[in-house]
Structure 1
Amino acid sequence: MKGDKKKILSIEYGSKSKMIVYIIIRALVIGVMIAQILNKNWDNVFICGLTLILLLLPSLLSYQLKIVLPNTLEIIIVCFIFAAEILGEVQEYYVIFEGWDDMLHTINGFLAAAVGFAMIDVLNEHERVSMTLSPAFVAVVAFCFSMTIGVLWEFFEFSMDYFFGKDMQKDTWISSFHSVALNPEGANVPVDMNVESVTVNGQRWEQYLDIGLYDTMKDLFVNFVGAVVFSVFGLIYIKNRGRGFAARFIPRLREDKKKEG
């Protein structure tokens, strides 16, 4: 009896926590939007409006995939959207804090793996679907789905930079590189080049400006880290099926849909 009461209280606390987070985040977004309207910064007003729409994403995922999102995972998604759009873009945290973009790409890898995991696991558990997949296979699919989303996002960033003159793939200053093209004998042996100065349109730089490559590979690497972490959580969850710390991050099929036949 006491255990049941604790469980009920835990569920209610989680719901209240989620509600409080939603209220605070939405209030902050609306406050920032009003400030941007007063400053006539219409690009940021659009971002704020987009953020309010994206905050509906967890509910849409739950409805479309017929799943239940754990409170912890849903709070992470909401905070991620706020950190990426409002803090990152509007408040320029991408420029102010060097590791901000890396942190968000790591979380993105984690969340994308959660979606991939849910799509396979809920089918695996559904009574109308004849599937019996091993925990390792489900974890691998979740990992691959996350990495695919990461690659598609990098395609999007490159397209925005190339066709619309944006700078989503941030440039990196580097002081040395290795290149076969600079080998004086034309051999397939890279030459080490230490950059002392570069002149572009009469302007002298002390380092070479890499155009997006380092940023892209770093984004994919941290996405890989996030995907691996969630895949491990997924393995633990399946083996314990609904128990333990990992259950806080794993979407699950709604009971009414699981028994639907």
Structure 2
Amino acid sequence: MTKVAKQREPESWINRIELTIALVLQVGILIVTVGALVERQWLGAFSGSIVLLLTFAPALIERHLRVPLPVELTLITSVFLYASFALGEARDFYEKIWWWDLALHGVAALTIGIIGFLSIYVFYMTHRIQIAAGWIATITFALAVSLGTIWEIFEFLMDWNFGLNMQKSGLVDTMTDLMINAAGAAIAAVIGYFYVHGNDGLYGRRIIRAVIDRQAKT
């Protein structure tokens, strides 16, 4: 067995474990959605269906747009959506745990920022673009903040049109979420900046190497 094969064999097991965890979380979302449907909670069932579909977004993007994505993205997406819907909404964690909403927004901003960084870094490493580390960090920050802002607009539209309470305390909740989003985006940008200069971090290096390898095969 070659050295490369020995290195990738553990990675394949890690990927299988990550996909298994993601599948378990998807099943959990499905169970909550079916439960809402049985109890005739139509809005909850509809929301659950949308959330369940979103867990498959990375796979759909990869298949139809032929964009290689790390397995970790599927896992992170499933974890976030499960925590947001199955725990936050269905189990009332948003009401029971005061910091639940803030934590999810922070993790989401950090995750989106890292994903944005990975997307840019793949093109940077394959020499498809020439860009300074500062610009990579800037684009990473802007992407995460923009998507976080779009989510806040979505919450407002849902509250306005369907009488929901996604914004909780209104302006205070929105501004707090935006600040948390900005903080998470800034952390992701800083991580990306120093990664470009230092190129260290074992787990991050494994993810990026996997993405670059899959990009080379397409």
Q: Same fold (TM over 0.5)?
A: yes
Q: Does structure 1 conserve the Cα–Cα contact (< 8 Å) formed by 2:106 and 2:180? A: yes
> Residue by residue, what CA displacement relative to the aligned partner does 1:56-110 show, whole Å, maximum 9, x if unpaired?
01213434361231x4443222100111122112222212211111011001111
- From 202, 209, 220, the equivalent of 2:178 is 220
SS at match of 1:68: coil
In the alignment, what sits opposite 1:47?
47
User: Structure 1 87/259 Cα, relative in aligned 2: closer, same or farther at 3 Å?
Assistant: closer
Identify unmatched segments of 5+ residues in structure 1.
172-211
Could you tell me how far 1:16 is from its partner in structure 2? 2.0
Question: Amino acid of the residue matched to residue 12 of structure 1?
Answer: S
2:26 and 2:78 in contact (8 A); partners too: no
The answer to whether structure 1 residue 132 and structure 2 residue 130 are counterparts is yes
Q: CA deviation at 1:227?
A: 1.1
1:176 corresponding residue in structure 2: none
SS at match of 1:120: helix
Q: Cα RMSD between the aligned structures?
A: 2.8
% identical aligned pairs: 26
Letter in 1 for 2:32: V
**What SS does the aligned partner of 1:170 have?**
coil
Matching residue of 1:84: 84
1:74 alignment counterpart: 74
Q: Which has the higher contact order (CA 8 A, sep 6+)?
A: 1
What TM-score, normalized by structure 2, do the two folds share? Answer: 0.84
Could you tell me how far 1:23 is from its partner in structure 2?
2.6
Q: TM-score, normalised by structure 1?
A: 0.72
Higher-helix-fraction structure: 2
Pairing 1:1-261 to 2, within 5 Å after superposition:
4=4, 7-63=7-63, 64=65, 66-69=67-70, 71-127=71-127, 129=128, 131-171=129-169, 212-241=170-199, 244-247=202-205, 253-255=211-213, 257-258=215-216
Give the total of aligned pairs.
217
Q: 1:50 to 1:169 in 2, by over 3 A?
A: same
Show CA shifts across 1:198-228 (max 9, x none).
xxxxxxxxxxxxxx12111110111112112
